[in-house]
Amino acid sequence: MTESLSIPRPDDWHLHLRDGAMLQGVLPETTRHFARALVMPNLVPPVVTAADARAYRERIRAVVPEGSDFTPLMTLYLTESTDPADVAAAADEGLIAAVKLYPAGATTNSDSGVRDFAAVRAVLERMAEIGLPLCVHGEVTDPSVDIFDRESVFIDTVLEPLRRATPGLRVVMEHITTSQGVDYVRAGGPNIAATITTHHLILNRNHILAGGIRPHYYCLPVAKRESHRLALREAATSGEARFFLGTDSAPHIDALKEHACGCAGCFTATNTLPILAQVFEDMGALPQLEGFVARHGAAFYRLAQNAGTLTLVRRATPLALPDKILTGAGPVTLFDPGFPLFWHVTP
Protein backbone atom coordinates (compact mmCIF):
# COMPACT_ATOMS: atom_id res chain seq x y z
CA MET A 1 0.00 0.00 0.00
CA THR A 2 1.26 3.46 -0.89
CA GLU A 3 2.02 5.43 2.28
CA SER A 4 3.26 8.72 0.83
CA LEU A 5 2.58 10.70 -2.33
CA SER A 6 4.30 13.92 -3.44
CA ILE A 7 2.60 16.02 -6.11
CA PRO A 8 3.06 19.50 -7.58
CA ARG A 9 1.18 22.25 -5.74
CA PRO A 10 -2.43 21.87 -6.88
CA ASP A 11 -4.92 24.25 -8.48
CA ASP A 12 -8.63 24.69 -7.81
CA TRP A 13 -10.34 25.58 -11.08
CA HIS A 14 -13.68 26.59 -9.53
CA LEU A 15 -13.79 28.37 -6.17
CA HIS A 16 -16.19 30.67 -4.35
CA LEU A 17 -14.51 33.07 -1.94
CA ARG A 18 -17.38 35.55 -1.47
CA ASP A 19 -16.35 38.95 -0.06
CA GLY A 20 -15.82 40.87 3.15
CA ALA A 21 -15.81 38.88 6.39
CA MET A 22 -16.60 35.61 4.62
CA LEU A 23 -13.68 36.06 2.22
CA GLN A 24 -11.35 36.75 5.11
CA GLY A 25 -12.61 33.69 6.99
CA VAL A 26 -12.48 31.08 4.21
CA LEU A 27 -9.50 32.15 2.09
CA PRO A 28 -6.90 30.54 4.42
CA GLU A 29 -8.65 27.18 3.94
CA THR A 30 -7.71 27.32 0.25
CA THR A 31 -4.28 28.95 0.49
CA ARG A 32 -3.10 26.26 2.90
CA HIS A 33 -2.99 23.68 0.08
CA PHE A 34 -3.63 25.37 -3.27
CA ALA A 35 -1.24 27.60 -5.20
CA ARG A 36 -3.92 29.03 -7.50
CA ALA A 37 -7.68 29.11 -7.77
CA LEU A 38 -10.12 30.31 -10.41
CA VAL A 39 -12.34 32.67 -8.44
CA MET A 40 -16.02 32.83 -9.29
CA PRO A 41 -17.54 36.27 -10.03
CA ASN A 42 -21.10 35.83 -8.69
CA LEU A 43 -20.89 38.43 -5.97
CA VAL A 44 -23.63 40.96 -5.24
CA PRO A 45 -23.23 42.99 -7.38
CA PRO A 46 -21.39 40.62 -9.76
CA VAL A 47 -17.88 41.06 -11.17
CA VAL A 48 -18.87 42.21 -14.66
CA THR A 49 -16.09 44.51 -15.91
CA ALA A 50 -12.32 44.55 -15.88
CA ALA A 51 -12.49 47.29 -13.25
CA ASP A 52 -14.67 45.06 -11.07
CA ALA A 53 -12.23 42.18 -11.41
CA ARG A 54 -9.24 44.36 -10.61
CA ALA A 55 -10.90 45.68 -7.47
CA TYR A 56 -11.98 42.19 -6.34
CA ARG A 57 -8.47 40.83 -6.91
CA GLU A 58 -7.06 43.53 -4.67
CA ARG A 59 -9.57 42.68 -1.93
CA ILE A 60 -8.48 39.05 -2.13
CA ARG A 61 -4.78 39.89 -2.13
CA ALA A 62 -5.27 42.10 0.91
CA VAL A 63 -6.33 39.12 3.05
CA VAL A 64 -4.02 36.40 1.70
CA PRO A 65 -2.29 34.96 4.79
CA GLU A 66 1.24 36.17 5.41
CA GLY A 67 3.83 33.93 3.82
CA SER A 68 1.44 32.47 1.26
CA ASP A 69 2.25 32.60 -2.46
CA PHE A 70 -1.39 32.03 -3.48
CA THR A 71 -2.50 33.52 -6.80
CA PRO A 72 -6.18 34.30 -7.44
CA LEU A 73 -7.16 33.82 -11.08
CA MET A 74 -10.01 36.18 -11.87
CA THR A 75 -13.11 35.73 -14.01
CA LEU A 76 -15.82 37.99 -15.42
CA TYR A 77 -19.53 37.35 -15.08
CA LEU A 78 -21.09 37.26 -18.56
CA THR A 79 -24.15 39.44 -18.99
CA GLU A 80 -26.13 40.50 -22.03
CA SER A 81 -24.45 43.93 -21.85
CA THR A 82 -20.85 42.67 -21.50
CA ASP A 83 -18.48 44.64 -23.72
CA PRO A 84 -16.31 42.40 -25.94
CA ALA A 85 -13.54 45.01 -25.99
CA ASP A 86 -13.45 45.14 -22.19
CA VAL A 87 -13.17 41.36 -22.03
CA ALA A 88 -10.38 41.28 -24.59
CA ALA A 89 -8.46 44.05 -22.83
CA ALA A 90 -8.76 42.26 -19.47
CA ALA A 91 -7.48 39.05 -21.01
CA ASP A 92 -4.60 40.82 -22.76
CA GLU A 93 -3.59 42.44 -19.47
CA GLY A 94 -3.52 39.03 -17.79
CA LEU A 95 -6.21 40.20 -15.40
CA ILE A 96 -8.71 37.42 -16.16
CA ALA A 97 -8.33 33.75 -17.01
CA ALA A 98 -11.92 33.07 -18.12
CA VAL A 99 -15.46 34.37 -18.46
CA LYS A 100 -18.30 32.66 -16.58
CA LEU A 101 -21.68 31.93 -18.13
CA TYR A 102 -24.56 31.59 -15.66
CA PRO A 103 -27.98 30.94 -17.16
CA ALA A 104 -30.15 33.44 -15.31
CA GLY A 105 -31.57 31.88 -12.16
CA ALA A 106 -29.53 28.67 -12.33
CA THR A 107 -27.69 28.98 -9.02
CA THR A 108 -26.55 31.32 -6.23
CA ASN A 109 -26.46 35.00 -7.29
CA SER A 110 -27.18 34.21 -10.93
CA ASP A 111 -30.07 36.61 -11.50
CA SER A 112 -27.87 38.84 -13.66
CA GLY A 113 -27.00 35.93 -15.92
CA VAL A 114 -27.88 35.24 -19.54
CA ARG A 115 -31.44 34.75 -20.77
CA ASP A 116 -30.95 35.53 -24.47
CA PHE A 117 -27.89 33.70 -25.75
CA ALA A 118 -28.01 35.62 -29.04
CA ALA A 119 -27.25 38.77 -27.04
CA VAL A 120 -23.80 37.47 -26.05
CA ARG A 121 -22.78 36.26 -29.50
CA ALA A 122 -20.27 39.08 -30.08
CA VAL A 123 -18.53 38.39 -26.76
CA LEU A 124 -18.25 34.67 -27.47
CA GLU A 125 -16.86 35.30 -30.93
CA ARG A 126 -14.20 37.63 -29.53
CA MET A 127 -13.32 35.04 -26.89
CA ALA A 128 -12.92 32.40 -29.57
CA GLU A 129 -10.57 34.72 -31.47
CA ILE A 130 -8.29 35.26 -28.48
CA GLY A 131 -8.57 31.76 -26.99
CA LEU A 132 -10.16 32.87 -23.71
CA PRO A 133 -12.11 30.02 -22.06
CA LEU A 134 -15.81 30.21 -21.33
CA CYS A 135 -16.73 28.50 -18.06
CA VAL A 136 -20.30 27.24 -18.14
CA HIS A 137 -22.81 26.46 -15.42
CA GLY A 138 -24.49 23.80 -17.52
CA GLU A 139 -28.14 23.72 -16.52
CA VAL A 140 -31.30 24.98 -18.13
CA THR A 141 -33.68 26.92 -15.90
CA ASP A 142 -36.98 26.05 -17.58
CA PRO A 143 -39.26 25.09 -14.65
CA SER A 144 -40.87 22.39 -16.80
CA VAL A 145 -37.55 20.48 -16.92
CA ASP A 146 -36.93 18.16 -13.98
CA ILE A 147 -34.02 19.35 -11.84
CA PHE A 148 -32.25 16.02 -12.31
CA ASP A 149 -32.40 16.42 -16.12
CA ARG A 150 -31.27 20.03 -16.43
CA GLU A 151 -27.63 19.27 -17.23
CA SER A 152 -28.36 16.82 -20.03
CA VAL A 153 -31.01 19.12 -21.51
CA PHE A 154 -28.57 22.04 -21.39
CA ILE A 155 -26.02 20.05 -23.38
CA ASP A 156 -28.51 19.29 -26.14
CA THR A 157 -30.41 22.57 -26.34
CA VAL A 158 -27.88 25.23 -25.35
CA LEU A 159 -24.26 24.11 -25.28
CA GLU A 160 -24.07 22.11 -28.49
CA PRO A 161 -25.81 24.83 -30.59
CA LEU A 162 -23.64 27.50 -28.93
CA ARG A 163 -20.43 25.64 -29.75
CA ARG A 164 -21.53 24.95 -33.32
CA ALA A 165 -22.28 28.64 -33.80
CA THR A 166 -18.91 29.71 -32.38
CA PRO A 167 -16.16 27.52 -33.84
CA GLY A 168 -12.96 27.62 -31.85
CA LEU A 169 -14.59 28.67 -28.58
CA ARG A 170 -12.82 26.98 -25.67
CA VAL A 171 -15.32 25.75 -23.08
CA VAL A 172 -15.07 24.33 -19.58
CA MET A 173 -18.20 22.53 -18.44
CA GLU A 174 -17.97 23.23 -14.75
CA HIS A 175 -19.01 20.76 -12.05
CA ILE A 176 -20.40 18.09 -14.36
CA THR A 177 -22.73 15.69 -12.57
CA THR A 178 -23.93 13.19 -15.16
CA SER A 179 -22.67 10.40 -17.37
CA GLN A 180 -24.05 12.44 -20.28
CA GLY A 181 -21.71 15.26 -19.30
CA VAL A 182 -18.75 12.88 -19.19
CA ASP A 183 -19.63 11.44 -22.59
CA TYR A 184 -20.16 14.87 -24.16
CA VAL A 185 -16.78 16.16 -23.01
CA ARG A 186 -15.03 13.00 -24.21
CA ALA A 187 -16.57 13.35 -27.66
CA GLY A 188 -16.23 17.12 -27.90
CA GLY A 189 -12.73 17.58 -29.29
CA PRO A 190 -9.75 19.55 -27.96
CA ASN A 191 -11.64 22.76 -27.15
CA ILE A 192 -13.77 21.37 -24.35
CA ALA A 193 -12.89 20.19 -20.86
CA ALA A 194 -14.72 19.69 -17.57
CA THR A 195 -14.20 20.23 -13.90
CA ILE A 196 -15.39 17.68 -11.36
CA THR A 197 -16.02 18.61 -7.74
CA THR A 198 -14.93 16.75 -4.65
CA HIS A 199 -18.44 16.37 -3.32
CA HIS A 200 -19.92 14.97 -6.53
CA LEU A 201 -17.43 12.11 -6.29
CA ILE A 202 -18.93 11.30 -2.87
CA LEU A 203 -22.64 12.11 -3.06
CA ASN A 204 -25.60 10.69 -4.87
CA ARG A 205 -29.12 12.00 -4.39
CA ASN A 206 -29.86 9.49 -1.63
CA HIS A 207 -27.30 11.23 0.56
CA ILE A 208 -29.38 14.41 0.40
CA LEU A 209 -32.86 12.94 0.78
CA ALA A 210 -32.90 9.42 2.24
CA GLY A 211 -33.71 9.34 5.95
CA GLY A 212 -34.27 13.08 6.17
CA ILE A 213 -33.12 16.18 4.32
CA ARG A 214 -29.42 16.95 4.81
CA PRO A 215 -28.97 20.61 3.86
CA HIS A 216 -25.17 20.55 3.94
CA TYR A 217 -25.22 18.03 1.07
CA TYR A 218 -27.51 20.20 -1.06
CA CYS A 219 -25.66 21.74 -4.00
CA LEU A 220 -26.29 22.91 -7.55
CA PRO A 221 -26.09 21.13 -9.83
CA VAL A 222 -27.77 18.70 -7.47
CA ALA A 223 -26.19 15.27 -6.98
CA LYS A 224 -27.70 12.63 -9.28
CA ARG A 225 -28.17 8.85 -9.31
CA GLU A 226 -25.43 6.47 -8.18
CA SER A 227 -24.68 5.52 -11.80
CA HIS A 228 -23.74 9.14 -12.50
CA ARG A 229 -21.50 9.34 -9.43
CA LEU A 230 -19.66 6.23 -10.59
CA ALA A 231 -19.23 7.75 -14.06
CA LEU A 232 -17.69 10.86 -12.50
CA ARG A 233 -15.30 8.73 -10.42
CA GLU A 234 -14.21 6.84 -13.50
CA ALA A 235 -13.61 10.07 -15.44
CA ALA A 236 -11.73 11.82 -12.62
CA THR A 237 -9.40 8.86 -12.08
CA SER A 238 -8.97 8.00 -15.77
CA GLY A 239 -5.89 10.14 -16.33
CA GLU A 240 -7.61 11.91 -19.23
CA ALA A 241 -6.39 15.49 -19.52
CA ARG A 242 -9.86 16.89 -20.27
CA PHE A 243 -10.99 16.27 -16.66
CA PHE A 244 -9.60 18.24 -13.72
CA LEU A 245 -10.46 19.50 -10.25
CA GLY A 246 -12.79 22.40 -9.62
CA THR A 247 -14.03 22.08 -6.07
CA ASP A 248 -16.93 24.52 -6.37
CA SER A 249 -16.30 24.98 -2.66
CA ALA A 250 -19.12 27.32 -1.71
CA PRO A 251 -19.35 28.78 1.79
CA HIS A 252 -22.72 29.71 3.25
CA ILE A 253 -23.29 30.39 6.92
CA ASP A 254 -25.25 27.68 8.72
CA ALA A 255 -28.26 29.94 9.21
CA LEU A 256 -28.68 30.13 5.42
CA LYS A 257 -28.04 26.42 4.81
CA GLU A 258 -30.33 25.18 7.60
CA HIS A 259 -33.25 27.23 6.37
CA ALA A 260 -36.73 26.77 4.92
CA CYS A 261 -35.25 27.67 1.53
CA GLY A 262 -31.62 26.74 2.10
CA CYS A 263 -28.71 27.89 -0.04
CA ALA A 264 -26.96 25.47 -2.40
CA GLY A 265 -23.29 24.66 -1.91
CA CYS A 266 -20.81 22.39 -0.16
CA PHE A 267 -17.76 23.82 1.58
CA THR A 268 -14.81 21.54 0.78
CA ALA A 269 -11.77 23.81 0.65
CA THR A 270 -10.36 22.47 3.92
CA ASN A 271 -10.45 18.73 3.28
CA THR A 272 -10.54 18.28 -0.50
CA LEU A 273 -7.07 16.79 -0.89
CA PRO A 274 -7.44 14.14 1.86
CA ILE A 275 -10.84 13.18 0.42
CA LEU A 276 -9.50 12.94 -3.12
CA ALA A 277 -6.53 10.86 -2.04
CA GLN A 278 -8.94 8.38 -0.45
CA VAL A 279 -11.17 8.31 -3.55
CA PHE A 280 -8.24 7.77 -5.89
CA GLU A 281 -6.82 5.08 -3.59
CA ASP A 282 -10.19 3.31 -3.53
CA MET A 283 -10.26 3.42 -7.32
CA GLY A 284 -6.71 2.04 -7.59
CA ALA A 285 -5.65 5.27 -9.27
CA LEU A 286 -3.37 7.16 -6.87
CA PRO A 287 -0.81 7.83 -9.64
CA GLN A 288 -3.52 9.76 -11.52
CA LEU A 289 -4.21 12.19 -8.66
CA GLU A 290 -1.34 14.46 -9.68
CA GLY A 291 -2.77 15.01 -13.14
CA PHE A 292 -6.28 15.67 -11.86
CA VAL A 293 -5.29 18.30 -9.28
CA ALA A 294 -2.06 19.80 -10.64
CA ARG A 295 -1.49 19.25 -14.36
CA HIS A 296 -4.58 18.92 -16.54
CA GLY A 297 -6.24 22.22 -15.61
CA ALA A 298 -3.06 24.23 -15.99
CA ALA A 299 -2.52 22.73 -19.44
CA PHE A 300 -6.05 23.58 -20.61
CA TYR A 301 -5.75 27.14 -19.31
CA ARG A 302 -2.31 27.40 -20.98
CA LEU A 303 -0.51 28.15 -17.73
CA ALA A 304 2.70 26.73 -16.34
CA GLN A 305 2.49 24.05 -13.70
CA ASN A 306 2.98 25.36 -10.17
CA ALA A 307 6.43 25.27 -8.65
CA GLY A 308 6.98 23.38 -5.43
CA THR A 309 5.40 20.21 -4.14
CA LEU A 310 2.91 19.03 -1.58
CA THR A 311 3.05 15.67 0.17
CA LEU A 312 0.20 13.46 1.30
CA VAL A 313 1.00 10.85 3.93
CA ARG A 314 -1.25 7.93 4.86
CA ARG A 315 -1.35 7.53 8.61
CA ALA A 316 -3.04 5.08 10.96
CA THR A 317 -4.77 7.89 12.84
CA PRO A 318 -7.63 9.67 11.05
CA LEU A 319 -7.29 13.35 10.26
CA ALA A 320 -8.91 15.52 12.93
CA LEU A 321 -10.77 18.48 11.46
CA PRO A 322 -13.26 20.94 12.94
CA ASP A 323 -16.93 20.49 12.09
CA LYS A 324 -17.19 24.19 11.30
CA ILE A 325 -15.05 27.07 10.12
CA LEU A 326 -15.75 30.16 12.18
CA THR A 327 -15.84 33.35 10.11
CA GLY A 328 -16.76 36.93 10.83
CA ALA A 329 -19.91 36.33 8.79
CA GLY A 330 -20.92 33.29 10.87
CA PRO A 331 -20.12 29.57 11.11
CA VAL A 332 -19.66 27.52 7.94
CA THR A 333 -20.05 23.74 8.16
CA LEU A 334 -17.26 21.70 6.60
CA PHE A 335 -18.31 19.00 4.13
CA ASP A 336 -18.43 15.58 5.80
CA PRO A 337 -17.58 12.77 3.36
CA GLY A 338 -19.03 10.18 5.71
CA PHE A 339 -15.81 8.23 6.17
CA PRO A 340 -12.55 8.78 8.08
CA LEU A 341 -9.69 10.49 6.29
CA PHE A 342 -6.32 8.80 6.72
CA TRP A 343 -4.44 10.91 4.18
CA HIS A 344 -2.77 13.94 5.80
CA VAL A 345 -1.26 16.88 3.93
CA THR A 346 2.25 17.73 5.12
CA PRO A 347 4.24 20.90 4.41
Q: Which residue in 212, 198, 338, 209 sits closest to 272, CA to CA?
A: 198
Distance, in Å, from the CA atom of 109 to the CA atom of 90, rounded to the nearest integer, reads 23
Helix or strand (DSSP H, E) at 324: strand 324-327
Distance, in Å, from the CA atom of 33 to the CA atom of 28, rounded to the nearest integer, reads 9
Distance, in Å, from the CA atom of 121 to the CA atom of 162, rounded to the nearest integer, reads 9
Confidence check: pLDDT of 104 > 90:
no
CA 130 to chain centre: 23
Q: Which residue in 336, 342, 339, 235 sits closest to 283, CA to CA?
A: 235
Percent of the chain residues past pLDDT 90, beyond the cut = 94
Q: Reply yes or no on whether 146 is catalytic.
A: no
Distance, in Å, from the CA atom of 95 to the CA atom of 57, rounded to the nearest integer, reads 9
Helix or strand (DSSP H, E) at 37: strand 36-39
Confidence check: pLDDT of 1 > 70:
no
Catalytic residue among 86, 146, 248, 254: 248
pLDDT value of position 99: 98
pLDDT value of position 113: 84
**Over the range 272-289, which residues count as b (16 or more CB within 10 Å of their CB) and which as e?**
bbbbbbbbbbebebbebb
Confidence check: pLDDT of 116 > 70:
yes
Predicted confidence (pLDDT) per residue in 306-345, tens digit: 999 999 999 999 999 999 999 999 999 999 999 999 999 9
Backbone angles phi, psi at 106, to 5 degrees: -75, -30
Predicted confidence (pLDDT) per residue in 214-237, tens digit: 999 999 999 999 999 999 999 999
Confidence check: pLDDT of 53 > 70:
yes
Q: For the domain 4-346, what is the CATH code? A: 3.20.20.140
